[in-house]
Amino acid sequence: MQKELLNKKDIDRIISRIAHEIIEKNKGIDDLCLVGIQRGGVHLAKRLSEKIKDIEGSSIPVGTLDITLYRDDINIKKPHPIVRRTEIPFDITDKKVVLVDDVLFTGRSIRAALDALMDIGRPSQIQLAVLVDRGHRELPIRADYVGKNIPTARAENIEVLLQEDGLKDSVIIESR
Amino acid sequence: MKKDLLGIKQLNEEEILNILTTASSFKDVLQRDIKKVPALRGKTVVNLFFEPSTRTRTSFELAEKRLSTDVLNFSIPTSSVVKGESLLDTVKTMQSYGADYIVIRHQCSGVPHRLSRFVKGSVINAGDGINEHPTQALLDAFTIKEKKGEIKGLNIAIIGDIVHSRVARSNTLCLLKLGANIRYIAPATLLPNYIPQEIKTFYNIDEGIKDADVIMALRVQKERMDKAFFPSEREYFKLYGLTPDRLQKADSQAIVMHPGPMNRGIEISSDVADSNQSVILDQVTNGIAVRMAVLYLFGGNDNG
C-alpha cells in the first residue's frame, strides 16, 4: 500500500524554510558550504544552495559525498554496492559544512558520512539537514534541520522521488 | 561480479566498464591527503609472486593497503617452496590463515585457474605465464579512456614481442570487447600462431603505425626466449624500435604506452619514453586505482 506524505508544494516550502534556518543559525553564509550525500542528498543540496543564493544574493560551494567505502555493512552486502563519485572541489577545513540527506533513519549513513568528511578535511563544524526524519535511530545522531518528522514502522519504506531523476517531486510511504 | 579475476577472457563489456568506472572513484581517493578508505577493513590478502615483479607487486600492495586490508607478502626464495612444497599445499596453508584474497603471479599459464577451484577466497591473476595479465589490460584501458575519452573506434597499435606477452593477450581481448581497432606490428617470429580475424598485422612499423591513436610498445622478453627470435638487439631497434621519427607518422595526438619494465634502446628510445606523448607513468598511477577497484568488486561475490 502506498500513500503520498509530501507533494511538490510541500517539498518546495521545506527547502525554503530550511534555507532560511541555515542562514539564521549560522548568522549569514560566511564559511558555509553544503555537501549532499549520494544520491538523494545531492539534488536537495543543490536546491538548498539555489534557495540560499536567492535569499542572500551570493552562492555557497556545494559538493557531493559518496559514503559507500565507509559503510559498516559493506562486508555483509553482496555484491558490494556501487561506488559513486565524491566531488568536493573546495577545501572544507575550517568551514561550516551542512550535510544534506533525504531520509534520516538508523543514522548509520550519517556516521559513515562523518568519517568520510574527516578524511577529506577538518571542518570547524558539521551540521545535518534532512528532508524526512523517520525515526528508529541506532546511533546517537540527530539532525539540525528537519523537513518533516514522520513516525514510521520499521517494515515500512519511505521513498523520496525528485524531478532531477525524471520523477514527480513527492515523498511516499509504502507498507510491506 | 564473479569470485575470481582469472582473465579478461572471462569478463564481458559491462563488467569491464563497471571496473573502470569504479576505478575512477578510487582515483579520486588517491588524490586526497588521506589516501586510504576503510572499505575492506579486516580482510586479509596474500600476495604470492612466483616470478620477479616490481610494478605489479608494489602496485597491488599499495592498493591493498589503501583499502585497509591486512597484507601478507609471500616471498618464494625464503619459503618452503624451495624445500619442495607443492603449490597447492602452499596455497592451502594461506587459506588456513583465513586469506580472503590470493593475488598470484606464476610462470606457468593456467595456475590461477586451477587454484580457483580449491580456494574459497578470491583469486586474482597478477600474470600467468604467457596467458593473461588482466589488471594490466584494465589499467591500460582506464588510461586510454582517461586520455582519449572513448575507446570505441580508436586505432591501437601493439608493437613488438607479442607472442610472449600476456599483456598483449589481455589487452587484445579487452580492447576488442570495448570496440577498438587493433593492429599488431612485429617480426614474423614474434607474432602468435593464432591471431583474431579483426586484427591487422604489419611487419613494417612505418606502415603499421600510420594514424594510430594509441601505440603500445612491449618489452622484449628475453627470459622467455629459448631460441633466436631476431638476429640482434641493435637490428631489432633499427627495425622495430619506437623512435621520434616513427612516432611522427602516427596521429599527432597519439599516446605512447609501455607496461614496463622498459628496455630503453631496444623496443623504445629514451626520447619517446620521456616525451610528452608518453603516458607510461600515468599507467603506473592508474594501476593502483584499478587494482583497488578489482579488489573491491571481486571481494563482493555471493559465495565468498
Q: What is the pLDDT along chain A (176 residues), one digit of tens a residue?
A: 889 999 999 999 999 999 999 999 999 999 999 999 998 899 999 999 999 999 999 999 999 999 999 998 887 777 888 999 999 999 999 999 999 999 999 999 999 999 999 999 999 999 999 999 999 999 999 999 999 999 999 999 999 999 999 999 999 999 87
Residue among B14, B32, B100 with most chain A CBs within 10 A, to mutate: B32
pLDDT in tens, A55-105: 999 999 999 999 999 998 887 777 888 999 999 999 999 999 999 999 999
Can you tell me the distance from the alpha carbon of A143 to that of A133, in angstroms, rounded to the nearest whole number?
8
- Mutation target for B interface from A38, A80, A118, A120: give the one with most B CBs within 10 A: A80
Chain B within 8 Å of A38 (Cβ-Cβ)?
no
Cα(B21)–Cα(B2) distance, integer angstroms: 17
Task: Look up residue B301 and give its three cell numbers.
Answer: 561475490
Q: Is residue B303 part of a domain?
A: no
Q: Is there a single domain that holds both residue B207 and residue B224?
A: yes
- Could you tell me the domains of chain A? 2-174 (3.40.50.2020)
Average pLDDT score over residue span B211-217? 97
- B52-76 per-position pLDDT tens digit: 888 899 999 999 999 999 999 987 7
Shared-domain flag, residues B206 and B290: no
pLDDT of residue A1: 84
pLDDT tier, B81 (very low <50, low <70, confident <90, very high otherwise): confident
Kindly state whether residues B159 and B174 are assigned to the same domain.
yes
- CB contact B292 to A (< 8 Å): no
Same domain, B41 and B95: yes
CB-based contact A69 B43, cutoff 8 Å: no
pLDDT tens-digit readout, B103-125 = 999 999 999 999 999 998 999 99
Phi, psi (deg, nearest 5) at residue A106: -75, -25
A56 three-class SS: helix
Strand arrangement, sheet containing B44-49: B70-75, B44-49, B101-106, B122-128
H or E segment at A37? strand A32-37
CA–CA distances in Å: residue B39 to residues B51, B97, B116, B273: 29, 21, 24, 36
| Residue in A75, A79, A83 closest to B302 by CB | A79
B158 shares a domain with B80 = no
On whether both B145 and B227 belong to a single domain, the answer is yes
Chain A contact present for B36, CB below 8 A: yes
Print the domain residue range for B122: 8-133+284-298
Between the alpha carbon of residue B268 and those of residues A12, A118, B185, B236, B285, the distances in Å are 62, 45, 14, 10, 21
B101 and B198: one domain? no
With beta carbons under 8 A apart, name residues in chain A contacting B4. Answer: none
Residue B257 lies in a domain: yes
**Record: contact A83-B296, CB cut-off 8 A:** yes
- What is the CB neighbour count within 10 angstroms for residue B238? 10
User: Are B78 and B92 in a shared domain?
Assistant: yes
Give residue B265's identity as a one-letter amino acid code.
Answer: G
Ramachandran assignment for B26, one of left (phi > 0), alpha (psi -120 to 50 degrees), beta (any other): alpha
Q: Could you tell me if B296 lies within 8 Å of chain A, comparing CB atoms?
A: yes
Q: What is the ipTM of this complex?
A: 0.86
| Whole-angstrom distance, CA of residue A101 vs CA of residue A40 | 6
> Structurally, how many domains does chain B consist of?
2
Q: For residue B78, what are the contacts with CB-CB under 8 A and spacing of at least 6?
A: none
Residue B3 belongs to some domain of the structure:
no
- Is there a domain that residue B1 lies in? no
> C-alpha grid cell for residue A161?
522521488
Angle between helices B55-66 and B280-298 (to 10 degrees): 50
pLDDT grade, residue B304 (50/70/90)? very low
Residues of B designated as active site: 55-56, 83, 105, 133
Residues B276 and B154 in one domain: yes
Contact list, A80 vs chain B (CB under 8 Å): 1, 296-297, 299-300
Provide the H-helix boundaries in B213-266.
233-240, 244-247
pLDDT at B302: 61
Q: Which residue has the cell 563488467?
A: B15
Between chains, do A80 and B297 touch, taking CB under 8 Å as contact? yes
pLDDT tens for each residue of B262-285: 999 999 999 999 999 999 999 999
Domain co-membership, B127 together with B141:
no
Determine the distance in angstroms separating the CA of A120 from the nearest CA of chain B, rounded to an integer.
Answer: 7
Chain B residues in contact with A113 (beta carbon < 8 A):
none
- The CATH number assigned to the domain holding B255 equals 3.40.50.1370
Residues in chain A with CB shorter than 8 Å from the CB of B37 are 69-70, 119
